[in-house]
Structure 1
Amino acid sequence: MASFPGTLPDYPTASYRICNTPESLAAAVRVLSQHSHIFLDCEGRNLGTVSGKLSLLNLGVAHATDDGEQRLLIFLIDVLAFPKDRAHHLSPIFDIMSSEKVFKIVFDGRMDASELLHGHRVQLNNVLDLQVADILAREKRGESRDQQLQRLRGFLPKHELARNPDMYLYVHKLNGMGSAMREYGIDEGKKRSVNHDKWLDRPMDETSLRYAAEDICKIQQLYDVFMEEGYIDEETLVQQSASYLALNADARPRGDKYQGHGLFPLAVLAKVSPLTPLMQCRGCERRLPASCFARSKSRDRGHICFVCRAVDMSHKLSPRKRKQDGNSQL
């Protein structure tokens, strides 16, 4: 097996290598093709948006050594090293991404999936999104309605939750990867900062490479905890993750307040019957069941879904207050 020269001090059982030649890419494919579960994360400029560009496609697999030790092997695929005249070398990697037989494990894969689809015409299939699994795990862990609303207290004005708690019965605050790790008792290790404006620069410095590799380690840690606790039903999570990632399937997101917030979108967990009447929200512009809207005397039932209403109410807070109260997923 090819050597993995990159080491991670905070993750001694993990190692990484940069793949920026046809030979190193082929070696990665040989290893990845032997595994049914692959940890995935992407780095780049404004991924998934209209100005998005993919820099690194990061893939990790748990591999048993000859002495039985489990190691995490991480491949940092340098997509920029394969411009149009060499892009065909990426096809085997992209085939794995679209394979229905290989699970791709991500944390909030929406923008990664959007960038792969709209930037490279690669459909990301058979995904287990741990951000979705986290929402599902809350009920399994016995989270009460009051605890669910408590999560929103940093997002919404206090008076809004006090006056209209029923409006937010189906509104869930998302965890970012860092907050999810803390919630599930996982040590984040040393926080590494990078300049996200430099993902397209070459050569890449060791700090950036380690940052990219460590995100794969964190995804694996969360996945291991979720599996140990029985929070993941693969068949169900694949279906729900597909709905989550499909939110940006038609086009790259606009990037307005109704798409760039920290709330879980409605009508993702429950499958909507084709016979269910739908209404279009004037905020997110999604077509949703009537149950996603507040009751109104008018026939349009308000025309704004519960999540977009929460976003509107959130923006009544001052920008400083929103930042202080955790109006992000970090």
Structure 2
Amino acid sequence: MKKKRINIRDIAEELDVTPSTVSRALNSGKKVGEQKRKEIIELANKWGYRPNRFAKSLIENKTYNLGLLLPEFTHHFFNKVLSGIESVTYEAGYHLVICVSDQLQDKEIKSCQTFIDSQVDGVLAIIGNEGDEFGHIQEVIDAGIPLVLMDRLCEDIQATYVVTDDYEGAFNAVNHLVQTGCSRIIHLKGPDYIFTAFNRHMGYKEGLKRHGIPYRRDWVISPTEKDFAQKLEHLILKEDIDGIFAFSDYDAFGAYDIIGKTGKKIPDDIGIIGYANEPLSTYVSPKLTTVEQSPFEIGRISAGYLLQKINQPSDEIMTSCLKTKLVIRDSTRSIK
């Protein structure tokens, strides 16, 4: 037999008070005497009372659900962003409706439609797809749903952003390679449709420029190219490459094997720097020098901004650009 769910009316009848008195005692506590409030809370706990979220949402005109759109779950970065978000939203009583786009435009569009149809109170999103079309993100805004975009900028969308300074992070990485004696540095570039790839590429170019090193377009290659391995091996052997700055740690990990096949040694012959400070960075040999982005902080700050926009609606656009940190390990030589 199904156990009857305890409601506010049951508690009110037992203590001979009105349901509204019980409701106030369990929520704000205003206009309820301290002794009576304690009696109500004590009985509610004893009987295992749980608030009816549906009824509460009708009264407050909130669903207490937030949409979260992520490109993927495989990278540690996105998991840490999620942890940062939950550190704020859980305490505030919100639940996350999580959708994963896999970097595909149609999945991003369907996810945003799900958020709108579900009438979520707000949306947090990391966007980026090969279609380079973001009308579905604008539809979320047009539906009156507060939105905060994380990690990646989109010039076509006027919204609150929380990102890291990828330009500075890339510049510092290249600067470190030069300081350790590298002068023939190539860049393993990220996908063109991801804005962070553009910023890291520009930071790489500026890093070379500051040290008077010519920029060569043919020294910028993408791991997504079919003949990537052959191109990288050719550059290492024919151009006497002594430094590599990679868009991500995973791109750097892929370069380790190719460098090994050429007979070159890391870091004696080639210094290499990744991006994101994935946990695997400390397990590869040699341990990877990388750029830390503080993904937990990205999530935490983003969630705080979103709740602020929900509780105090306004058209104000807030932006945070977090500093990066170069984590120096064994894949680069000591500064000369």
TM range (shorter): under 0.3
Larger Rg: 2
What TM-score does the superposition give when structure 1 sets the normalisation length? 0.25
